[in-house]
Amino acid sequence: MLPRAEKKLQTRHTLLQSTLDLMDGGRGFCGLSLREVTRQAGVVPAAFYRHFEDMDQLGLALVQESTQSLLTAIRQVRHNELEVGGAIDASVRIFLDHVEANRQHFMFLAREQFGGSSLVRQAITNVYRQFSNDLMADLADMSRLKHLDREDLAILSDLLIKAVFSSLPDVLDHLESPATAPFDPQSALVHKLRFIMIGAKHWLGIRGGKDQRL
Amino acid sequence: MLPRAEKKLQTRHTLLQSTLDLMDGGRGFCGLSLREVTRQAGVVPAAFYRHFEDMDQLGLALVQESTQSLLTAIRQVRHNELEVGGAIDASVRIFLDHVEANRQHFMFLAREQFGGSSLVRQAITNVYRQFSNDLMADLADMSRLKHLDREDLAILSDLLIKAVFSSLPDVLDHLESPATAPFDPQSALVHKLRFIMIGAKHWLGIRGGKDQRL
DNA sequence: TCGGATAGTCAACAAATGTTTACTGAAATT
DNA sequence: AATTTCAGTAAACATTTGTTGACTATCCGA
């Protein structure tokens, strides 16, 4: 690449990384100021506008960057699901390895999924929907779930995605101080996904059998 | 009550309510300024300090207020669980009715559970844990879950709580614009909880039977 | 080699923020 | 009736914020 544009990309990356670093202090994205970010990046405030229109746009870029990581992880997981036996264990392992390798990005996603900026929130919501749709397609191919109709599968995949992502904070906290949670978040997550998948396997329709009246 | 302290409590409540009103605009708690809140409340900035030390303390008060609402809902749910048949339907109905009646409070909880202020976040996390423990005690009394040990129950209740709360944003959005979600969030939530409870019922231990290898 | 493009600097601006200090007046206490 | 208490006001403060315009130095294409 040309050293001109390369340098620019490098600064842009520094701005994004500085934002993640500042958020490591436990603060949310909306609590950061433009000047703070540039200060952390070792750049003058005005330089910010060479890369982003405002903080919201930087947030969107951060969503995209994080999503890229996530997409990579998901594809590994989906590839792995084709193998036989212990798909959940292996998938969760791969997913969590990736979370560990991209801790800051996933912290950003976990913290801003319902957070301050509505633009960022909406972007993350769209990513969710996309992943949920992908997962639904995979689930539809599983032989032990053939008895589920489209709506069942949609709700099931949504539930699985929500279970994974709502466990993200536990996992991320556990990475930093491994004594916080009562259980190991990774095995707990596997446990939870098993509950769900077993339930899906024994699902008898919305009315349920008489033994399914809960 | 004496008209002196009563008036003070009223102003305090106005401050809290003003905060919720401002957050209705789609912004997060950490995006609000002290002056903004007092402006909305029709009070001079300095008056804020007669009630709260800083915005974080107001946030904690808001957690407590919201928690009170939630406790009320939960108690209704637990009482309802003692009745026979269709416990999930009825429980979810009651819970969601309460969410609807206290929309702003639950929006606050949903949005700030991982959000900006670490003090607020931690307070909400503690509430979660408490509810999860309560639910665990209830689950332990259910005859169809007698085969689960303490760890199973802990993880199960955590999963149920997470499923409910991660669905809160869907439910709240649906209240404002009932065409956003692909499905009705309420029935979807019932569906999800059924998946989980059925899975719990058929749970055969962490190693599972040979038909439970996922 | 020249001339334009441009990433980043510098300085300045109005506006908004959190916080403090002294005050006012009504309610509570004595 | 006199005095204290205190919720809310008024004004001022030092900072910080987002944004702008003119600049500088470097890289790029001609």
Tell the burial category of B32 from Cβ atoms under 10 Å away from its Cβ (0-12, 13-18, 19+): buried
pLDDT band (50, 70, 90) for residue A208: low
Q: What is the mean pLDDT of residues B185-214?
A: 84
Residue A121 CA, distance from chain mean position: 13
Distance CA A71, CA A91 (A): 14
Strand D nucleotides below 7 A of a protein CB? 6-12, 16-22, 27-29
Pinpoint the residues of chain B covered by CATH 1.10.357.10.
56-212
Distance CA B101, CA A132 (A): 30
Q: Is the CB of B30 under 7 A from strand C?
A: no
Distance CA B160, CA A163 (A): 9
Residue A76 has pLDDT above 80, yes or no: no
Which residues 173-212 of B are in CB contact (within 8 Å) with A? 182-183, 188, 191-203, 206, 208, 212
Distance CA A141, CA A37 (A): 46
Instruction: Name the token pair of B159.
Output: 């999963």
Q: Return the residue matching tokens 């809140």.
A: B37
* For testing contact with chain A, the best of B19, B114, B129 (most A CBs within 10 A): B114
Burial of B55-86, coded b for 16+ CB within 10 Å and e otherwise, reads bbebbbbbbebbbebbeebbebbeebbeeeee
Total beta-carbon pairs less than 8 A apart between chain A and chain B: 149
Compare all CA atoms of chain A with the CA of B192 and give the residue at the minimum distance. A159
Q: What is the mean pLDDT of residues B159-179?
A: 92
Q: Are B52 and B58 within 8 A, CB to CB?
A: yes
pLDDT at A52: 98
Q: What is the mean pLDDT of residues B27-42?
A: 97
pLDDT at B212: 55
Neighbouring CB atoms inside 10 A of B198's CB total: 24
Distance CA B85, CA B80 (A): 10
Distance CA B187, CA B88 (A): 11
First CA to last CA distance, chain A: 62
Residue B214 has pLDDT above 70, yes or no: no
Q: What is the mean pLDDT of residues B175-189?
A: 84
pLDDT at B43: 98
Å between CA of A140 and C1' of D1? 86
Interface check B159 vs A, CB under 8 A:
yes
Pinpoint the residues of chain A covered by CATH 1.10.10.60.
1-52
The CATH code that applies to domain A1-52 is: 1.10.10.60
List the single range of A150-154, A174-178, B7-11, B154-158 with lowest mean pLDDT.
A174-178
pLDDT at A79: 73
CA dihedral B193, B194, B197, B198 (to 10 degrees): -150
Which residues 57-76 of A are in CB contact (within 8 Å) with B? none
What percent of chain A clears pLDDT 70, i.e. is strictly above it? 91
State the alpha helices, DSSP H only, in A82-210.
87-101, 103-112, 118-140, 150-166, 168-176, 185-201
Q: What is the mean pLDDT of residues B41-49?
A: 98
Residue A17 has pLDDT above 90, yes or no: yes
pLDDT digits (tens, 9 = 90+) for A80-129: 665 545 677 778 888 899 899 999 999 999 999 998 899 999 999 999 99
Tell the burial category of B138 from Cβ atoms under 10 Å away from its Cβ (0-12, 13-18, 19+): middle
Q: What is the mean pLDDT of residues A133-149?
A: 92
In angstroms, how far apart are the furthest CA atoms of chain A?
70
Q: Does domain B56-212 have CATH number 1.10.357.10?
A: yes
